[in-house]
Chain A
Amino acid sequence: GAGVSQSPSNKVTEKGKDVELRCDPISGHTALYWYRQSLGQGLEFLIYFQGNSAPDKSGLPSDRFSAERTGGSVSTLTIQRTQQEDSAVYLCASSPRLAGGNEQYFGPGTRLTVT
């Protein structure tokens, strides 16, 4: 079946502009995660959605970052007033949220370049 999709695959933006990154999770997956991966680095957790519960925003690096998930499916990550240090690959993952041991399924990522 269809996997996690993300759009755009690449985004180049000027410093100070706002950007929106989109994630379409696997149908039926109740959990959705956003991560950031800077060049040569591991994954940095940003935010987590689980069903209708309030999201876990503990990883968002600043108030310029926000995310929403509409109808328990598609999610949008918004970065306002982008800075050069925001340049990274933004990865989305979904999970079926079964009993413990459920793995994450990752999208291909959006490569964001802030000039």
Chain B
Amino acid sequence: AQSVTQLDSHVSVSEGTPVLLRCNYSSSYSPSLFWYVQHPNKGLQLLLKYTSAATLVKGINGFEAEFKKSETSFHLTKPSAHMSDAAEYFCVVSDWSGNQFYFGTGTSLTVIP
């Protein structure tokens, strides 16, 4: 079975400092992994995805994530937080068919001015 664990329900950083949102996955095959962002009262927007190509994936708004098979992790990072990054972030894994998606419980990111 596939599953995703987001290790922090809430992360708070100061503006201009690095962001790290942690995600561990469980999968019996080579997974596809995604990060989505949800701003208040908005729908979910894809930040980036990993599909067995390069292990370091670059996404929109300066975010990137590294797929580490040995650690079953797919942590999301950004070198310098911006106030507009304050949102809810979801880590997602898809099943072998690419049909079903399994969402983490989300990490709420607060950016302190």
Contact = CB atoms under 8 A, between A and B. Distances in A.
Query: Is A bound to B?
Result: yes
Contacts of A25: none
Q: Which residue, of A41, A42, A105, has the highest number of chain B Cβ atoms within 10 A?
A: A42
B99 A97 contact: yes
B25 interface: no
Given A101-B32, A103-B46, A106-B45, A42 B98 contact: no
A35 B101 CA distance: 11
| Interface range on chain A (Cβ under 8 Å from partner) | 20 to 34
24 contacts: A4-B43, A33-B101, A41-B105, A42-B103, A42-B104, A42-B105, A42-B106, A45-B103, A48-B100, A91-B44, A93-B44, A97-B98, A98-B98, A100-B97, A100-B98, A101-B32, A101-B98, A103-B34, A104-B44, A104-B46, A105-B46, A106-B44, A106-B45, A108-B42
Interface of A: 4, 31, 33, 35, 41-43, 45, 48, 50, 56, 91, 93, 97-109
Interface of B: 32, 34, 36, 42-46, 49, 51-52, 90, 94, 96-101, 103-106
Contacts, number: 56
A104 B106 CA distance: 17
Contacts of A33: 101
A99 B104 contact: no
B52 A106 contact: no
A110 to B, nearest CB: 11
A114 B98 CA distance: 34
A56 B34 CA distance: 22
B101 A101 contact: no
Nearest to B52: A101
Contact of A31 (B42, B99, B106): B99
Nearest to B96: A100
Contacts of B44: 91, 93, 104, 106
Nearest to B102: A45
Contacts of A109: 43
